Structure 1
Amino acid sequence: MKLLDPRGFGMMCATGAVAIGLTVAGCANRVEGVANPNASDLAAYKTEAASSSAAATSSRRAAAQSKAIADNCGQFPTISGLGVSRYNEFVDAHDANAPDYLAKRDLAVSTLEDAANTVESGVRTARDALPPDLAAQFTEYVSAARALAGETRTMTYTAPVGALNDASKRVNDARNVVRDSCPRR
């Protein structure tokens, strides 16, 4: 039996490929004009793409808002509650003319300021993810806590307590509004 000659076989394949290529090229017709997409298909595609993009953006926005609410509302009771506790300890020391009155006053001031700073930082970190009404309520608490810290700082045994009581009521009101606005756990 005789083996195929590789050179002859390669030449035969090359000749066949050229013949097929010339046949296909000779049978091809050129179509005049400009290729354009089907207008109705293009419009449907654009509508679908825009809808899909809007849905993805909406989903991301909703997830960011949910996280911002959970982060801020989750920390608020503990942070603001500590401020309330330290403030109440100061009031008890003030009312009892206790020897640790100044230390408790200073601790209440620093705790209220820390609470205000922490809540403010949470709102700032959330940026636009928090609903505007909830962000405004947190901001009111921050202002009220700072005002109460300022009034507490000026208290002495003989100072009138009217302004302190007003500032305390403002903090309590702001705290209640935030707690009522935050989702229940």
Structure 2
Amino acid sequence: MRTLDPRGFGLMCATGAVAIGLVLAGCANRVEGTANPNNADLAAYKTEAAASSVAATSSKRAAAQAKSVADNCTQFPTTTGVGVSKYNEFVDAHDANAPDYAAKREAAVSTLEDAANKVEAGLNLGRDTLPPDLAGKFTDYVTAARALADETRKMSYTAPVGPLNEASKRVNDARNAVRDACPKR
């Protein structure tokens, strides 16, 4: 059996390394000049990046608007419905000269003001994300509910009912306008 000559093996490895180095050096030609991007590719990339950014921003804005509309429209019937019920109880007590007339009047006033405050709080939370026309309808309701609370507070058995009826009509109109503007579930 023949043994491997260490000198021959070392010489063969060194020769192989030199040959590989020469091949690599021959392939590595230096190009003179300054590296510049391909202007057409760069313009296309910038356009695509801007469009992607606009789409992401638009998508976030649409999602925030949908959430704000859903939050406000979902709670509106429940919040305002309590005010309607208490107001109707007051009207029934007024018309019947009921002994609990004053208590029902105060409950109606309190509930109408509470509904206006809750709707206004939701409106304020969604001010930047609610569509302006819907925000305007919520604001109209808040104004009308507070006016009805004020007129209700003024009521006595001898007070004229005209201003109260007008205020009630404005609340009903404002409430219907919001319900009509909100998406149907």
Equivalent positions of 1:160-171 (< 5 A) are 160-171=160-171
3-state SS of paired residue (2:126): helix
Q: Percent identity?
A: 78
Shift of 1:20: 5.4
Q: Distance in 2 between matches of 1:122 and 1:132?
A: 14
Q: Distance in 1 between matches of 2:113 and 2:176?
A: 18
Tell me what 2:83 maps to.
83
Query: What are structure 1's unaligned runs of at least 5 residues?
Result: none
TM-score normalised to structure 1 length: 0.86
- RMSD across aligned positions (CA): 2.7
3-state SS of paired residue (2:97): coil
3-state SS of paired residue (1:134): helix
Cα 1:31–1:86 change in 2 (3 A) is same
Q: Deviations over 1:21-63 (max 9, x none)?
A: 6874576333222211101111111111111111111111111
3-state SS of paired residue (2:127): helix
* Farther off after superposition, 174-183 or 27-36: 27-36
Say if 2:32 is the partner of 1:32.
yes
Query: What are structure 2's unaligned runs of at least 5 residues?
Result: none
Equivalent positions of 1:83-122 (< 5 A) are 83-122=83-122
Equivalent positions of 1:5-16 (< 5 A) are none
* Farther off after superposition, 55-64 or 15-24: 15-24
Tell me what 1:137 maps to.
137
TM-score normalised to structure 2 length: 0.86
Aligned residues: 184
Q: Distance in 2 between matches of 1:97 and 1:3?
A: 125
Q: Deviations over 1:70-119 (max 9, x none)?
A: 11111111111111110010111111111111110111011001100111
* Farther off after superposition, 154-163 or 39-48: 154-163
Tell me what 1:151 maps to.
151
